[in-house]
Structure 1
């Protein structure tokens, strides 16, 4: 099963989600990420955080949803709402869920405040990904309605 983690810039949240998902994924599950308006780079704080967590960043880059290597089975949007951010609407016959996380790349303030915002985004995404992998996934693949309910429920979890 292929999961697309989608946001606007594909430089912070979706990259954190993609790398964490693939780090934790059981066989047969793979994440990719993309942006509707890709920044063209991965935020250095995202790379540093993933490295500190022991998660490989090799091969990851900011990319457009126009150039996906495969059609996803599930699309998870991770854009936040505090800044009035619009979530991109992926077009296609796929299951969709929203796991909103505020964008740490736009946080200003002290080093501690900025670093805390990246860690909060990471912890929130990781908690949701771990909750997803704790589900009976083989059963849920055969029951799309139940899968959708679980994806939506997970999107409300906080770190």
Structure 2
């Protein structure tokens, strides 16, 4: 494992739910070994309140949460990413900006909890499922002790394993 924290950017379309949850989980569990970021191709402008609720329910601070455009991570003054993880199929299929440093890329498709219908409890349950999936994958990534050379292969294997369970 590298002594320098690895930068990981989670991408989805709206940057209001899945990618924010992933960012929050990695910030919480990463223990200084990782720096987590998130962004979207078409940001909604605000975090989904249910995403914030589920993070808070797990004692994850939410002050970081903001819906951001992914192009802010493509500029010359942006942090160089080691890994970019798309967490929705739309973002995985979109033409992404050219990232500084040529980071590794992986896809962790997760159902959009913001598309859930029903009562508040049912919607919150969908967000909890997303949290559980992200927490499991991020915990597996952390446990693998990746470095800049192995992080992409490890993240892709985690995504493939999760896709096989779907």
TM-score by length of 2: 0.82
Q: 1:97 aligns with which of 91, 103, 106?
A: 106
Q: Which residue of 2 aligns with 1:19?
A: 24
Structure 2 stretches of 5 or more lacking a match? 1-5
Query: CA distance change for structure 1 residues 89 and 31 in 2, over 3 Å: closer, same or farther?
Result: farther
Distance 1:86 1:35 in 2: 8
For residue 28 of structure 1, report the CA deviation from its aligned partner.
3.6
Distance 1:106 1:56 in 2: 24
Runs of 4+ in 1 over 2 A off after TM superposition: 85-92, 109-113, 146-149, 156-159
Structure 1 stretches of 5 or more lacking a match? none
Alignment RMSD: 1.8
Tell me whether 147-156 or 17-26 shows the greater mean CA deviation: 147-156
Quick check: 1:151 aligned with 2:160? no
8 Å Cα contact 2:82-2:103 kept in structure 1:
yes
Q: 1:57 aligns with which of 55, 62, 65?
A: 62
Alignment of 1:72-151 (within 5 A): 72-80=81-89, 85-87=90-92, 88-90=94-96, 91-92=98-99, 93-137=102-146, 140-141=147-148, 144=149, 146-151=150-155
Distance 1:55 1:28 in 2: 17
8 Å Cα contact 2:11-2:91 kept in structure 1:
no
Distance 1:64 1:18 in 2: 15
Query: CA distance change for structure 1 residues 147 and 72 in 2, over 3 Å: closer, same or farther?
Result: closer
Q: 2:38 aligns with which of 33, 37, 43?
A: 33
Distance 2:91 2:62 in 1: 27
> How many matched pairs?
150
Q: What SS does structure 2 have at the residue aligned with 1:125?
A: helix
